[in-house]
């Protein structure tokens, strides 16, 4: 164990780093409510908003960065990780409050608000929404272990992006944003999803339906009316060719329309009572945090957001992309569509187990985003 003083290299000792992480968490969970303010107590201007958000997120980045240090004692990391969700949730609330304040007071026009790109793309998640973490109803196991605290998901620009999308959801449900204003985003999502499916066909020889994930961080089930409208709009704009998928732990799952959205209700050992939300058309999947499988779940995910990756224990169908034996962390590489087909429709099992040709990740991600944006522009012209 390190000493209280600095190490000989000049870097903070373990105890100093722990104290810094504790202070960072404390600063966030005890901060005031409402929009971000400047030194004089006034709400920050729209022009100064991002810099204020960057300053506000600094304590969170300190705490999340502490957790990512593999050399630290597990107990130290666990202490901070257990508090990360609450800190991030408070952070997101204030950023969203600022966005909505600017919108309601005219500093942010509707046109400017809707310039925010509603849909993004990643190799692992495909076409998806990113929402803020305060939309979640986490279980005792998932809150601090969410990958929203890892890597680029915790940087300021990414956090702010999720907050903008969540603000749009809230404002739409409040009647402040007309649906037609979101249709260019819907068309862009359709174009991206089609391009993503075409890439899978070329790369893996795997033909599957285009799809959009709602959402890969945060919970679309917090806005069931918006989710149902959005899924309907995507289906309409794509002539029924693009599917919408939701993984959820949220009680709002009861309001999701399973005829429009493929719903995967995610349960773990600390949230068995949430099985009560299952109904016809809702697939129950299992988060195997310690590797213990649920034989009754349609899919078991071997969670791997920590530094360890447990081996499966017991019987149950395991998601191949979460196996410790693979580096291919995306479904298309395995020709698997189990999570993406409606439980109301019998799977035909047409997927192929093709080998990846390991094309550059950046080429896939950036290329698809650019081509999708171009296609959406042509469609809306």
Per-residue pLDDT at 91: 93
pLDDT per position as a tens digit, 247-265:
999 999 999 999 999 999 9
Spatial neighbors of 52 by CB under 8 A, at least 6 apart, are 36, 38, 44, 98
Statement: residue 297 has pLDDT above 50: yes
Find, among 178, 168, 113, 166, the residue nearest to 136 by Cα: 166
Per-residue pLDDT at 358: 32
Per-residue pLDDT at 370: 52
Per-residue pLDDT at 305: 60
Q: Per-residue pLDDT averaged across 181-203, rounded? A: 95
Distance, CA of 271 to CA of 259 (rounded, Å): 26
Sheet holding 126-130, edge to edge: 119-122, 126-130, 211-217, 243-248, 261-267, 282-287, 299-301
Q: Where are the domains of the chain?
A: 1-108, 153-380
Statement: residue 222 has pLDDT above 60: yes
Q: Where are the beta strands (DSSP E) in the chain?
A: 119-122, 126-130, 211-217, 243-248, 261-267, 282-287, 299-301
Statement: residue 357 has pLDDT above 70: no
Angstrom CA distances, 72 to 69, 76, 77, 305, stand at: 6, 7, 7, 16
Find, among 140, 24, 21, 143, the residue nearest to 73 by Cα: 21
Per-residue pLDDT at 78: 86
pLDDT per position as a tens digit, 33-88:
999 999 899 999 999 999 999 999 999 988 988 888 877 888 888 888 889 999 99
Give residue for tokens 């600094």: 58
Statement: residue 306 has pLDDT above 90: no
Mean residue pLDDT of the chain comes to: 85
Statement: residue 351 has pLDDT above 50: no
Q: Per-residue pLDDT averaged across 356-362, rounded? A: 33
Q: pLDDT band at residue 10, thresholds of 50, 70 and 90?
A: low
pLDDT per position as a tens digit, 111-153:
999 999 999 998 778 899 999 999 999 998 888 888 778 777 8
Per-residue pLDDT at 347: 44
Per-residue pLDDT at 344: 84
């Amino acid at each position: 164990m390190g000493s209280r003083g600095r190490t000989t290299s000049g870097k903070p000792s373990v105890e100093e780093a722990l104290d810094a992480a504790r202070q960072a968490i404390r600063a966030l969970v005890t901060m005031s409510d409402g929009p971000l303010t400047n030194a004089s107590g006034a709400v920050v201007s729209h022009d100064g908003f991002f810099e204020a958000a960057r300053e506000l997120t600094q304590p969170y980045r300190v705490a999340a960065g502490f957790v990512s240090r593999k050399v630290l004692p597990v107990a130290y990391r666990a202490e901070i990780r257990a508090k990360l969700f609450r800190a991030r949730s408070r952070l997101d609330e204030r950023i969203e409050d600022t966005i909505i304040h600017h919108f309601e007071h005219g500093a942010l026009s509707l046109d400017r608000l809707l310039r925010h790109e509603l849909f993004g793309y990643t190799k692992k998640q495909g076409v998806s929404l990113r929402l803020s973490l305060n939309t979640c109803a986490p279980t005792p196991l998932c809150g601090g272990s969410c990958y929203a605290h890892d890597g680029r998901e915790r940087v300021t620009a990414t956090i702010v992006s999720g907050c903008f999308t969540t603000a749009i959801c809230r404002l739409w449900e409040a009647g402040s944003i007309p649906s037609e204003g979101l249709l260019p985003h819907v068309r862009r999502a359709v174009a991206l999803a089609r391009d993503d499916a075409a890439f899978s066909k070329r790369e893996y020889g795997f033909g599957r339906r285009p799809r959009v994930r709602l959402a890969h961080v945060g919970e679309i089930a917090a806005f069931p009316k918006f989710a149902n409208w959005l899924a309907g709009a995507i289906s309409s704009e794509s002539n029924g060719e693009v599917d919408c998928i939701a993984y959820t732990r949220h009680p709002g799952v009861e309001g999701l329309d399973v005829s429009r959205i493929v719903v995967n209700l995610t349960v773990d050992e600390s949230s068995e009572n949430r099985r009560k939300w299952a109904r016809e058309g809702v697939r129950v999947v299992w988060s195997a945090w310690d590797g213990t499988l649920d034989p009754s779940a349609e899919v078991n995910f071997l969670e791997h957001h920590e530094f360890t990756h447990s081996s499966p224990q017991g019987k149950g169908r395991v998601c191949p992309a979460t196996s410790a034996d693979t580096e291919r962390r995306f479904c298309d590489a395995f020709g698997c569509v189990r999570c993406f087909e409606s439980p109301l429709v019998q799977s035909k099992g047409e997927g192929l187990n093709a080998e990846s040709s390991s094309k550059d990740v950046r080429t896939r991600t950036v290329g698809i985003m650019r081509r999708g944006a171009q296609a959406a522009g042509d469609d809306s012209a």
